[in-house]
Amino acid sequence: MRSDKIKKGIESAPHRSLLRATGVIRTPGDFDRPFIGVANSFTELIPGHVHLRQLAERVKAAIRQAGGVPFEFNTIGVDDGIAMGHQGMRYSLASRELIADSIETVVQAHQLDGLVCISSCDKIVPGMVMGAVRVNIPTIFLAGGPMENGRLPSGEAVDLISVFEGVGKRLNNEIDDAALEQLETYSCPSCGSCAGMFTANSMNCLLEALGLALPGNGTILATDPRREELASRVGQRIVRLVEENLRPSDLLSPDAFRNALALDMALGGSTNTILHTLAIAHEAGIPLEMQVVNQLAARVPYLCKVSPATPRVHMADVDAAGGVSAILRELSRLEGVIAPETPTVTGQTLGENVAGARIRDEGVIRPLEHPFAPQGGLVVLFGNLAPEGGVVKVGAVVPGMLVHEGPARIFESEAAALEGIARGTIQPGDVVVIRYEGPKGGPGMPEMLAPTSAIMGMGLGDKVALITDGRFSGGTRGACVGHVSPEAAERGPIAILRNGDRIRIDIPNRRLDVLLPEMEIARRFAELPPFEPRIKSGFLARYQQQVTSASRGAILKNPWS
């Protein structure tokens, strides 16, 4: 075992002495057992993570019962919803790298044999995956589970996006303070990751398709007793996984990534999943290009429409309808889309995992014969404004905005855009442009849920488009194109736009263009001043120096490659 380096032989007597002092070693026989790290992202700042202590205890008890020795340690976490709309959001994506580094550091420093990653929200999930792939020891993921959706006294289903959009309605005087407070009070009723198909739940569903999590990981609610049962199965299974030496490198193949992206298309997941999947593939040493997304989107129908694409359906409904397994089994009927023979942490193939699944509610998960749309819920646009691509959640775009042409309304930051929206400067037909908010320019590529929600709340969602080199929350809906690459800070074409320029968004033809002559574009590039960083000290300054484009997953540069 790897851990023999810290527990076997005369030279390891000091190590054993320190390990005894932890209280985790209960008998001398524990030194003959595999040492399993339990990476817990518990924090009292994030509703998706406040209950993870209890899940960790279930995991650790099961590890001991199965013959392993569990050692719990922690990672940091950022709540994107709380960090939204201020300086804190610049730390969200950047925290992914810190989390990956912390997993690598603890596992390698203590030569652990196996790993359970207990995560739930946003950047914490991919950060843990990236770290686990890097150290490449047997690993299983366990999510905290989705939040229950809220209900107003009227019975109307609500979630966090209802609150963000409620702010826009209040700014537009469509509701009063009391109605906004009611939304605030009832929309987030329990622990768990936010109730719709936002980034956290999208990623936790994708882990099932990647083969890194047990079935049910993505959809069983945080408050459902089955979540604790799942935690016990994870603890039992990781010990067997160590015995089998089944590692992430044995599971993550090109087929596994295609399985995950196909599921993403069928779910209409968060645009952030593309960013994180690219980053995870890079860690795994597997080439993955943005064009693959469009190839799959053309073949995979949109089978499961969940909030924010529709306000009535939430993760609880998806779970009751059959969950991820039912969707994957349905997709396996499409020749060449799902590779059922890919291995998973269960010890069975993906096809075997989902063989007994079925759709229990066709109003939530549609069969192939009656999809919500014939093509997938995410696509990548290319053009003279996005030579390296920009991502749009097409499943959450109203049909009338699939093709839109209008004048650019330029904002140099998210804060400026929010101020402009609140002042009523946005007019029907506009294309709002928020730039210098990419991985380098932000820095940290902040999410734009506040401005997109304000636009929707003010009744402009079917009249106004938005493009940005920043990101969108998984809760964003509307004609919103994010991840526009290269970003403005890297002298991408979005940097040369001016107010009034005609921008054309053509989602069916996967195009994003500014209607300017090539000579004018070249002249503006020649006049473009150098990028001036907003932050010049601390972690974000270092991150800004090392981070790459969104089209590469916003990974950090390797100075030796």
Residue 268 lies in a domain: yes
Gap between the Cα atoms of 545 and 443, Å rounded: 10
Name residues whose C-beta falls within 8 Å of residue 461's C-beta, 6 or more positions apart in sequence. 398, 455, 477, 478
What is the pLDDT averaged over residues 473-486? Answer: 83
* 454 in the same domain as 345: no
* 216 in the same domain as 137: yes
Statement: residue 396 has pLDDT above 90: no
Q: How far is CA 391 from the centre of its chain?
A: 13
Gap between the Cα atoms of 531 and 533, Å rounded: 6
Biggest CA-to-CA distance, the chain: 76
Residue 535 lies in a domain: yes
Give the CATH number of the domain where residue 433 resides. Answer: 3.50.30.80
Residue 12 lies in a domain: no
Give the CATH number of the domain where residue 125 resides. Answer: 3.40.50.2300
Other C-beta atoms within 10 Å of 487: how many?
30
Gap between the Cα atoms of 62 and 70, Å rounded: 9
Helix (H, G, I), strand (E, B) or coil at 527: helix
**Which residue range is the domain that position 216 belongs to?**
33-149+189-354
Average pLDDT over the chain, rounded to an integer: 94
Pick the closest to residue 277 from 252, 314, 300 (CA basis).
252
* 323 in the same domain as 412: no
pLDDT in tens, 56-89: 999 999 999 999 999 999 999 999 889 887 889 8
DSSP classification of residue 278: H
Token pair listed for 158: 């609500």
Helix (H, G, I), strand (E, B) or coil at 85: coil
pLDDT in tens, 78-134: 998 898 878 898 999 999 999 999 999 999 999 999 999 999 998 999 999 999 999
Residue 443 lies in a domain: yes
* 335 in the same domain as 197: yes
pLDDT in tens, 408-436: 999 999 889 988 888 888 999 999 999 99
Residue 182 lies in a domain: no
Which residues, listed in sequence order, are joined to residue 480 by a DSSP beta bridge?
466
Statement: residue 35 has pLDDT above 80: yes
Helix (H, G, I), strand (E, B) or coil at 360: coil
Indicate the residue type of 172: N
Residue 165 lies in a domain: no
Residue 122 lies in a domain: yes
pLDDT in tens, 297-329: 899 999 999 998 888 899 999 999 999 999 999
* 388 in the same domain as 347: no
Gap between the Cα atoms of 442 and 469, Å rounded: 9
Q: Which pLDDT score is estimated for 475?
A: 61
* 350 in the same domain as 260: yes
The three state secondary structure string of 271-295 is CHHHHHHHHHHHHHCCCCCCHHHHH
* 193 in the same domain as 338: yes
Q: Which pLDDT score is estimated for 366?
A: 97
* 413 in the same domain as 332: no
Count CA atoms within 13 Å of residue 364 on its CB side.
24
* 386 in the same domain as 350: no
Give me Rg for the CA atoms of the chain. 23
* 209 in the same domain as 118: yes
Statement: residue 189 has pLDDT above 90: yes
Name residues whose C-beta falls within 8 Å of residue 249's C-beta, 6 or more positions apart in sequence. 133, 136, 284
**Residues acting as catalytic residues:** 473
Pick the closest to residue 362 from 314, 418, 317 (CA basis).
317
State pTM to two decimals. 0.93
* 413 in the same domain as 337: no
Q: How far is CA 376 from the centre of its chain?
A: 17
Gap between the Cα atoms of 428 and 458, Å rounded: 11
Residue 15 lies in a domain: no
**Domain count across the chain:** 2
554 phi, psi to nearest 5 deg: 55, 40
Indicate the residue type of 274: I
Q: Which pLDDT score is estimated for 305?
A: 93
Gap between the Cα atoms of 213 and 210, Å rounded: 8
* 401 in the same domain as 337: no
